[in-house]
Amino acid sequence: MTADETGTAQGGAEADEPGWDVDPDDESGAAMAATVGRQIKAWREAAGMRAGEFGAAIGYGEDLVYKVEGGRRIPRPEFLDRADEVLGAGGKLALMKRELAEVRYPKKVRELAKLEARAVELLAYGCHNLHGLLQTEEYARALFGMRRPAFSLDEVERLVAARVARQSIFDRSPAPELSFVQEEVTLRRHLGGRMVLRRQLEHLLTLGQLRNVEIQIMPTGRDDHAGMGGEMQVLKFGDGSAVGRSEGDFGSRPVADPKHLRIIELRCGIIRAQALTPRESLAFIEQALGET
């Protein structure tokens, strides 16, 4: 059962606090949650309803109502839909789903998603697992679920939702140029189980057919490899600027300095030359699928 399922009350029973805790270090997220909470409280009081009555009417617990109104909990979209209907807000509360759509995700993920949304070109090399933009939902859930110390089920669902939301980059028009190089081991490791991997490999084959997407595989048997320092990524923007990150270099932080970017781009270029071509890589993925 997912966090969504466990977090929704049915038949008037109280819910197990559906939604997401507000990160106190995320100032913009906390401010937005507080604003939405105040609006809900104002509408509830204008309707002459106590918190307990309101909670019972929309199918959630009184404690959750107080947390949402106090800006300590980010409500799920269905909470706002029910609140809008019960309080007769005429769509005003439901409309706040747009404002909360981003802040429900971790701040670092939101910042990355904004960069990806601006990018006209992306170059990425992954060595431990598949790049987040390439992952299926169940593969991502398995990946987050095996982290130690363990994430809570709620946090896993939050991170999975954020990762899936980033994949809207494939639907953009005009489409950005997306190039990925993946280590062979990422096609062999049964993260989540054999069937999860099979569906993930099928997904890679589908993405690899897109005209703006190139997926290349780096065979484990290569004698020469420019990516032994770890994963890296470069995002290029329409104004000619760029940002990159290389694991273990420059404090593993995103960098925009041309000197640093030149090093990362150089490595990415050599890695792409050392890997299988996109056509060879798709054949390699098909072979891996057949062996899984």
The pTM assigned to this predicted structure is: 0.73
Each residue's pLDDT, cut to its tens digit, for the chain (292 residues) gives 333 333 333 333 333 456 677 777 778 778 888 999 999 999 999 999 999 999 999 999 999 999 999 998 888 889 999 999 999 999 999 988 877 876 777 777 788 888 999 999 999 999 999 999 999 999 999 999 999 999 988 889 889 988 998 999 999 999 999 999 999 999 999 999 999 999 999 999 999 999 999 999 999 999 999 999 899 999 999 999 999 999 988 877 889 999 999 999 999 999 999 999 999 999 999 999 999 9
**217, 182 Cβ separation under 8 angstroms:** yes
Quickly count: other Cβ atoms within 10 Å of residue 86's Cβ: 19
Q: Are 131 and 182 in contact (CB under 8 A)?
A: yes
Among 195, 151, 216, 154, smallest CA distance to 143 is for 151
- Among residues 7, 10, 164, 161, the alpha carbon closest in space to that of 73 is found at 7
Amino acid at 195: M
Is residue 134 within 8 Å of 203, Cβ to Cβ?
yes
**∠ at Cα 103 (31, 232), nearest 5°?**
130
Instruction: Pick the closest to residue 55 from 16, 26, 99 (CA basis).
Output: 16
Angle at 177 between CA 176 and CA 182, to 5 degrees: 125
CA angle 264, 205, 125 (to 5 degrees): 10
Beta bridge partner(s), residue 154: none
Tokens 């697992």 -> residue: 129
Question: Helices then strands (H, E): number in the chain?
Answer: 13, 7
| The pair of three-digit structure tokens given for residue 107, joined into one six-digit string | 């701040």
**CA dist., res. 20 & res. 74, Å (int):** 5
How far is 70 from 68, CA to CA, in rounded Å? 5
